[in-house]
Amino acid sequence: MAVTKYNIRRLKRLLAMLKENRYPNYPRFLAEMKRQDLAGAYNLSARTLQRDVAFLKQEYGAPIEYDRERRGYYLADPDWSADIPLLDDPEMRAAVLGARLAENLMPDPVKREIRSAVDTLLAVNDKGMDENAILLSLVALGSRAKVDPAVFRTVFDAWQSRRCLKLTYETVDGHVSKRLAEPHALAFYEGNWYVKAVARTRDGQSIPKEKRRAAALALHRIKSAEATVVAFEPDQKIIDAVNRREIFDFPMVKDIRLRLGPEARKFIGEEFDIAEEKREGDHYLVRIAAAPAYRVVNYVLVEGGDAELLNHPELAAEVVKRAKKAIAAQKKR
């Protein structure tokens, strides 16, 4: 297969999906390539993907295997890597800016490694970078709660290598427990780092998929972490849920309808995905397809009367209950 610049970009995207344990197959890879295309009209055949996989195996020795249960390709050796061709200017700029953002989000020691990787990218590139563009990335915020660097390093490595962790964890109410857990996904959510993990039995056995329950563990509440040699198979359902930003198992409410004033309408898009919106005089009628119940209640309370629930009376009742409680507490002062 003649390797053109365009083919290289496609191969690098395929390698990235393999490295991220996303089990690419034809539908997933096509959807990913369409997301990379501004027009969303990208197309390729299933045979093209098969040729790409064969090329990587033959020319680079990529240990790519097919998982029939997950219906996708994966790397039999997660630590395998190939030499990546030099990046062109737009790719270089995107890589450096993305790395700068990640550098500000990641705790040590991963932060130092990203810093080193950025320096390496700049060293091998024959053109300089626009310093003003790089400074734009400094708006990124790090974790709100301090994470132990040693804990982050251990959890990060275990997640990448698909190894179980021995954890000492402290809950919000101060209860401390020890557990053996499978770290299926890492996520940065609303200012803090979480690992979506599945606990194993006391004797180290894996819980059947139909009975397992994934929990979101805050990394800043992990008191100690120790990697083990016990391997596990990533659960694609858990990974997909995290990719949809479903980090916690909050009760979801569907078909939420709101009447918003001008001020509330300014910020609704930052909180929810809007399914429908219609102007009604000085107000706006908005429909949200689905959202966690607590977020809807919090939003209506914060907007202080500028947001009105038009359905779901149980949520409206919760808003009134919490508002009365807040008023009573302030009257005591």
The pLDDT of residue 322 is 94
Domain closes at, from 120, 139, 158: 139
| Structural domain contains residue 80 | no
Domain end residue (candidates: 188, 213, 243): 243
Q: CA 37 from chain center: how many Å? A: 21
CATH number at residue 199: 2.30.30
Q: Could you tell me what percent of the chain has a pLDDT over 90?
A: 43
Are 300 and 278 in a shared domain?
A: yes
Could you report the per-residue pLDDT of 256-315, keeping only the tens digit for each?
Answer: 999 999 999 988 988 898 999 999 999 999 999 999 999 999 999 999 899 999 999 999
Q: Is 83 inside a domain boundary? A: no
Clarify whether residues 259 and 178 are in a common domain.
no
pLDDT number for residue 122: 62
Distance CA 74, CA 305 (A): 51
Q: Looking at the structure, tell me whether residues 168 and 204 fall in a common domain.
A: yes
Q: 90-102: buried (b, 16+ CB within 10 Å) or exposed (e) per residue?
A: eebbebbbebbbb
277 within some domain: yes
Residues 194, 108 share a domain: no
Q: Same structural domain for residues 235 and 256? A: no
pLDDT of residue 133: 44
pLDDT digits (tens, 9 = 90+) for 222-247: 999 999 999 998 888 888 888 777 88
Residues 6+ apart with CB under 8 A from 253: 290, 291, 292, 293, 296, 312, 315
The structural domain count of the chain equals: 4
Residue 82 belongs to some domain of the structure:
no
115 & 166 share domain: no
Same domain, yes or no: 121 and 204:
no
Is 280 inside a domain boundary?
yes
Give the mean model confidence (pLDDT) for residues 47-66: 91
**Does any domain span residue 144?**
no
Lowest-pLDDT choice from 48-57, 196-205, 238-247: 238-247
**What pLDDT, on a 0 to 100 scale, did the predictor assign at position 141?**
45
Q: Does residue 115 fall inside a structural domain?
A: yes
Is 194 part of a structural domain of the chain?
Answer: yes
Same domain, 195 and 260: no
Q: For the domain that residue 303 is a member of, what is the CATH number?
A: 3.30.70
Q: Assess whether 283 and 327 both reside in one domain.
A: yes
Average pLDDT (322-333) is 87
CA–CA distances in Å: residue 130 to residues 169, 238, 305: 44, 39, 46
Please indicate, yes or no, whether residues 155 and 224 belong to a single structural domain of this protein.
yes
The residue segments making up the domain with residue 224 are 149-243
- In this structure, the answer to whether residues 260 and 322 fall within a common structural domain is yes
133 and 202 inside one domain: no
> Mean pLDDT of all residues in the chain?
83
